[in-house]
A and B are shown apart, each in its own frame.
Chain A
Amino acid sequence: MPPRQPAPRKSKARTTAATDAADAGGRQYASTDDPRIMLDRQVGNLYEPIPPYPPRTEREGEFYTLGDGEMFLNLGPHHPATHGVLRLVLKLSGEQVVDVDPVLGYLHRGVEKICENSDYYHVLDQVDPLEYLSSLFQEWAAVLSFEKLVDVQVPRRAEYIRVLSGELLRIASHTLYMGFLALDLGGLAPILYSFIERDEIVEMLAALTGARMLFNYYRIGGVNGDLNHEFMSRLGDWMSRAAGQTEANATLLNENEIFVRRTRGVGVLDRATALQFGVTGGNLRASGVPFDVRRAHPYSIYPELEFNVPTRDEGDSLARYLIRVDEIRESIKIIDQCLNNMPDGPVMAKLPRLIRPRPGRSWGAVEGPRGMMGVYSISDGSDQPFRFRIHDPSFVNLQTVPALLPGNLLADTMAIVASLDPVLGGIDK
């Protein structure tokens, strides 16, 4: 059987209702204002796996040509297991994945362009909704880059508060990851416990920053407000049982035979491939590379803190999960040290209302829950960044999916994609 060519391209210009009816899968409807025709015309084109235009690259043409016994399956864009609005076009042979073409851009908002047209303070508002599960880290990367441009010294108390709130959010993000990974594999209970943990942390941070998800808390030269009583009392309550609760949550999955069997040895990312793809964060450390920006290129007060960088050699989905659990334990240690060593003093450096940094370039990178978050900004001396480049770790991590999926079963697709922990808000920018 010759390889099937892509379906004939549909012209965008539609003139008559008859063409519409013919386009709607060849089905004949009685009336031209039949709502089903409208539905087919709108939905049929949007969610067809084969794009309605000639292939733009060789790779695209090769992917959208079916071999013997192969079929396409659209996973997403509105699939609950894709962690946002991601479309994976899977090429299947039976139940095995042969190839995959991720289609991005459903959440693209052009944040970089908007940031280049906002002044330096407004940029921090714009970057918040990118990584909506860990927005403090995206702010942190931007703030770090701007502080290098402006040459401002951040007060030590502000640095401690940044690390404290950042590590809290890292725990919230990792806890949610544990729950969602189990949910994508069909286990409902862990996500409920995850949300209990996460809710306590975001409520705590709401007492500190005023918002539950989009904090807008870090400022160029410090943080927005000092620690307050409600935050400290909530934090004290939570810290007294955080370690135990983490162990309980982890036990729920670590000792679950179905979970372990479905993740062990699935989606193995070896050390060389991980480095080639530029993967960072827990996904890289699960492949045996001890790269953690907090240690590899220290910023803030991390050189003064004691914590380990856990690594594992297996590189499979289970290793990526276990790394996150270890990191939660390390984060609890860091929070403990922050609370013990918290210095007194101001939380903001003195800066003018409108910042005009000297012309120059700077790169700031922090270790977010998903990997290295970087910001490259260029100043031309005006009050807006001339170029504001956001490097998102999930974008690079998601790129390994076409390398990890082939050869696996369709059901394992979810275990692999979820174990990479992508957040589409950040990927699509």
Chain B
Amino acid sequence: MDLTLKTRLEARLGDYLRGPVYQRRDETEIRIEPDSVPDVLRILRDARDLRFEILADLAGVDTGDVMQVVYHLWSPMTTDWLRIIADGIPRDDPRAPSATFLWTGAEWLEREAYDMFGIVFEGNRDLRRIFMPPDYTSFPLRKDFLLPDDAARSTGAGVRQVELGVRPTGANGDAADDIRRAPAS
């Protein structure tokens, strides 16, 4: 846990932070608005006392209420991993700015987040599905996407509250029905 990193982050990013800087074990976590992602990432990478030069990961998260984009960065100036959570992206129209202007490598990571969650990264030149087939319509890692079988569920009381909802129209269940109805050709 790097306590000086906390003061450095607060000094550099004071206005952008939403909530306190959270530190646990070897991780430091900050929360920001999705709109301020380009500014914050640029400061983090280019400020001389921060120098977070390696984008370790970019992940989408669906909390059931909102979407998040989570960045993990590494810097030679600290012993901590830095986690940036762009929080509060609405689920019905998830949009976030792209990080490709700083890290070209974010392009595929954003494509993956789009493929799995439907988060549209504005500024990504090649935002198309990367794993799922092109004619696929739903977003598999969203919490309202239910697996069609129960075999993968654990024996414990593992079915989560958010997954007990009604299956949305246009989700995987309907596609399976279409395939079943289609004439053999």
Binding site for B on A (CB under 8 A): 14, 51, 53, 56-60, 104-105, 108, 110, 112-114, 116-119, 122, 148, 273, 275-280, 291, 296-297, 354, 360-363, 365, 372, 374, 376, 378, 380, 382-384, 386-387, 389, 391, 395-396, 399, 403, 428-429
Contact = CB atoms under 8 A, between A and B. Distances in A.
Contacts of B158: 117, 119, 382-384
B106 A278 contact: yes
A112 B61 contact: no
- Counting from the closest, the 7 A-B pairs by CB-CB distance are A278-B105, A277-B105, A119-B154, A105-B131, A108-B131, A59-B126, A389-B59
Contact of A383 (B53, B126, B132, B156): B156
Nearest to A280: B54
A403 B105 CA distance: 11
Interface stretch (B3-11, B19-27, B35-43, B89-97): B19-27
B156 A365 contact: no
A399 B107 contact: yes
Contacts of B62: 387
Interface string B151-185: 01110111010000000000000000000000001
A429 B152 contact: no
A345 B157 CA distance: 35
16 contacts: A14-B185, A53-B134, A57-B126, A57-B127, A58-B125, A105-B130, A108-B131, A113-B145, A122-B154, A276-B104, A279-B105, A297-B81, A383-B154, A384-B156, A391-B57, A391-B59
Contacts, number: 137
Interface in B106-132: 106-109, 112, 116, 125-132
B128 A56 contact: yes
Contacts of B72: 363, 374, 376, 391
A275 B54 contact: yes
Contacts of B128: 56-57, 60
Interface in B15-53: 24-27, 29, 53
B141 interface: yes
Contact of A57 (B70, B108, B125, B132): B125
Contact of B83 (A104, A297, A363): A363
Contact of B108 (A280, A382, A399): A399
A119 B152 CA distance: 10
Q: How large is the interface on B (under 10, 10 to 19, 20 to 34, 35 or more residues)?
A: 35 or more
Nearest to A119: B154
B56 A387 contact: no
Interface of B: 24-27, 29, 53-57, 59, 61-62, 70, 72, 74, 76, 79, 81, 83, 102-109, 112, 116, 125-135, 140-141, 145, 147, 152-154, 156-158, 160, 185
Contacts of B185: 14
A372 B56 contact: yes
B128 to A, nearest CB: 4
Contacts of A380: 160
B156 A354 contact: yes
State the main secondary structure of chain A at its contact with B: mixed
Contacts of A14: 185
B104 A277 contact: yes
Contacts of A429: 131
Nearest to B82: A363
Nearest to A298: B79
Contact of B27 (A110, A122, A280, A363): A363
A396 B116 CA distance: 17
Contact of A119 (B83, B134, B156): B156
B40 to A, nearest CB: 17
B56 A278 contact: yes
- Most chain B beta-carbon neighbours within 10 Å: one of A280, A363, A378: A363
Contacts of B74: 291, 296-297
Contact of A376 (B55, B57, B141, B153): B57
Nearest to A398: B108
A354 B102 CA distance: 42
B108 A396 contact: yes
Nearest to B156: A383
- Most chain B beta-carbon neighbours within 10 Å: one of A280, A354, A396: A396
A105 B134 CA distance: 11
B145 to A, nearest CB: 8
Given A104-B130, A110-B140, A113-B141, A395 B160 contact: no
Contacts of A117: 147, 152-154, 158
